């Protein structure tokens, strides 16, 4: 209960994540690893739990198995808080054989889940962002403003507005216009270089949500940002919540105020990692007053034999032996051998970097065996012949691309085996 209200959360975790390929070839976007031992979905789930919202349905769709396993292992809450849950819900197809057609349709197909809990308020949040947020403060704004719907917002540069739902407000915060991903946006009052963007996080009065979703289904509307919210402006009270006013305990003065990143592209995902590095990072992963919960870790401590390490994160079970690491982020059980060199890299679980290999500005997905003397990130034209390279020049090596058989590409080994 928050302010005497029963709150239920729907987390939209069905994103295919095509712009994060090849990291999303075998997993959905919310399941993509982040930092040392987290996944992207851990941020929204931690924000909800820290805000005392314990009844959470995670709506999934594409390539959801790794996410289902992660939630099963890491988010079993009943042993800590009886009667509360984080439950993964795939499309039930109760209304015919069809997948979720959009964010609104995903919640509509699961309206029956509200019947048991009978919430007063429903939080509908995205699962693709890196941030800390006390949702209770947004709920207080919703209640104080006597709103039917409250939309979390933050300023974004005008040149980025086409990637967001853009809202225009009156002086009292009431939303007067809502445009999904406009090619050009009008600047917000007082900031000629910025527009006010929706974060994709909403608080609904439960009765309003149920009624409007039923109406949307009848008229073929499927998305909150494209259809429901613009239409509801004429008939309901929609308020903008200013995320910049959200206060998180334990935040340090050197951190970026109101830090929030959409990590839906390779470049955004890559740069967000390095926002967490250093003695005074933009976003500090460690905050005991507002933790971002991670999966259980049974691995041994990292072992560093010798080498040079600067501004790096070393995951548990990793071994560094005579290597050079500068702005390197290693997840669990990574081995870096003698004379290897890593600069501005992200290496995922169980990767081995052999002697003398050199990697810079790259993401190496899990279970790769980088062969001795291999170079990645030094010749982008050469890299493009083998890997995906982002607009910002970040090289992405897919999972298991290099096998442990002499470091040759796994696909080549599989073909050779098939040919005898």
3-state SS of the chain: helix, strand, coil percent to 5?
25, 30, 45
Please count the residues of the chain: 420
pLDDT at 82: 58
Q: Give bridge partners of residue 88 from the DSSP assignment.
A: 58
Q: Treating both helix axes as pointing N-terminal to C-terminal, what angle do 65-74 and 41-50 enclose, rounded to 10 degrees? A: 40
Domain boundaries, the chain: 7-262, 303-418
Alpha carbon distance 114, 346 (integer Å): 40
The answer as to CATH 2.160.10.10 being correct for domain 303-418 is yes
pTM for this entry: 0.92
Region of residue 200 (left: phi > 0; alpha: psi -120 to 50; beta: else): left
Give the rounded distance of the alpha carbon of 338 from its chain centre: 34
Alpha carbon distance 181, 10 (integer Å): 23
Show Cβ contacts of residue 305 under 8 Å, excluding neighbours closer than 6 positions: 319, 320, 321, 322
pLDDT at 287: 96
Match 């995903």 to its residue by tokens.
Answer: 106
User: Which H or E run contains 197?
Assistant: strand 194-205
pLDDT at 418: 37
Alpha carbon distance 253, 357 (integer Å): 39
Identify whether the C-beta of residue 275 lies closer than 8 Å to the C-beta of residue 281. yes
Alpha carbon distance 133, 137 (integer Å): 9
CA atoms lying within 13 Å on the CB side of residue 260: 24
Question: Could you tell me the two tokens for 188?
Answer: 């917000």
Identify whether the C-beta of residue 320 lies closer than 8 Å to the C-beta of residue 305. yes
Q: Using alpha carbons, list the distances in angstroms from residue 192 to 157, 176, 189, 352.
A: 9, 18, 7, 49
Show Cβ contacts of residue 320 under 8 Å, excluding neighbours closer than 6 positions: 302, 303, 304, 305, 307, 309, 314, 336
CA atoms lying within 13 Å on the CB side of residue 109: 26
Q: How far apart are the first and last CA of the chain?
A: 64
Alpha carbon distance 269, 129 (integer Å): 10
pLDDT at 252: 97
Mean pLDDT by 10 residues, the chain (420 residues): 91 84 91 93 96 94 86 74 79 60 86 92 96 98 97 93 90 90 86 92 97 92 89 95 96 96 95 95 96 83 92 94 97 96 97 97 97 97 96 96 65 39
CATH code of the region 7-262: 3.90.550.10
Alpha carbon distance 29, 15 (integer Å): 6
pLDDT at 98: 61
User: Which H or E run contains 198?
Assistant: strand 194-205
Alpha carbon distance 412, 395 (integer Å): 20
Closest CA to 359 of 385, 333, 339, 388: 339
């Amino acid at each position: 209960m928050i302010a005497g209200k029963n709150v239920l959360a729907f987390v939209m975790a069905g994103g295919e994540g095509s712009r994060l390929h090849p990291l999303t070839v075998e997993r959905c976007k919310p399941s993509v690893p982040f930092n040392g031992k987290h996944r992207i979905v851990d941020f929204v789930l931690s924000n909800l739990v820290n805000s005392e919202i314990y009844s959470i349905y995670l709506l999934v769709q594409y390539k959801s198995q790794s996410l289902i396993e992660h939630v099963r292992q890491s988010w079993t809450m009943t042993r800590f808080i009886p009667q509360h849950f984080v439950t993964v819900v795939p499309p039930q197809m109760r209304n015919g054989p069809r997948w979720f057609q959009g964010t609104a349709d995903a919640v509509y197909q699961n309206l029956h889940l509200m019947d048991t809990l009978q919430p007063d308020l429903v939080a509908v949040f995205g699962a693709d962002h890196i941030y800390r947020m006390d949702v209770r403060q947004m709920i207080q704004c919703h209640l104080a403003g006597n709103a039917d719907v409250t939309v979390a917002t933050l300023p974004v540069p005008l040149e980025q507005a086409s990637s967001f739902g853009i809202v225009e407000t009156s002086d009292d915060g009431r939303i007067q216009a809502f445009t999904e991903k406009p090619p050009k946006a009008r600047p917000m009052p007082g900031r000629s270089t910025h527009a006010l963007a929706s974060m994709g996080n909403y608080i609904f009065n439960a009765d309003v949500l149920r009624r409007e979703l039923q109406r949307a289904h009848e008229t073929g509307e499927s998305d909150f940002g494209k259809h429901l919210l613009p239409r509801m402006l004429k008939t309901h009270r929609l308020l903008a919540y200013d995320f910049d006013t959200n206060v998180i305990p334990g935040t340090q003065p050197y951190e970026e105020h109101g830090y929030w990143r959409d990590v839906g592209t390779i470049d955004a995902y890559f740069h967000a990692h390095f926002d967490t590095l250093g003695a005074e990072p933009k976003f500090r992963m460690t905050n005991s007053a507002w933790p971002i919960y991670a999966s259980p870790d049974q691995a041994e401590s990292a072992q560093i034999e010798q080498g040079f390490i600067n501004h790096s994160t070393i995951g548990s079970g990793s071994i560094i032996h005579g290597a050079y690491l500068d702005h390197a982020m290693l997840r669990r059980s990574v081995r870096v051998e003698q004379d290897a060199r890593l600069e501005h890299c992200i290496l995922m679980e169980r990767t081995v970097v052999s002697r003398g290999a050199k990697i810079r500005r790259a993401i190496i997905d899990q279970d790769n065996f980088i062969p001795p003397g291999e170079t990645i990130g030094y010749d982008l034209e050469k890299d493009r012949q083998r890997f995906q390279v982002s607009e910002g020049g970040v090289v992405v090596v897919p999972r298991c691309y290099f096998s442990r058989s002499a470091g040759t590409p796994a696909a080549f080994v599989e073909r050779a085996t098939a040919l005898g």
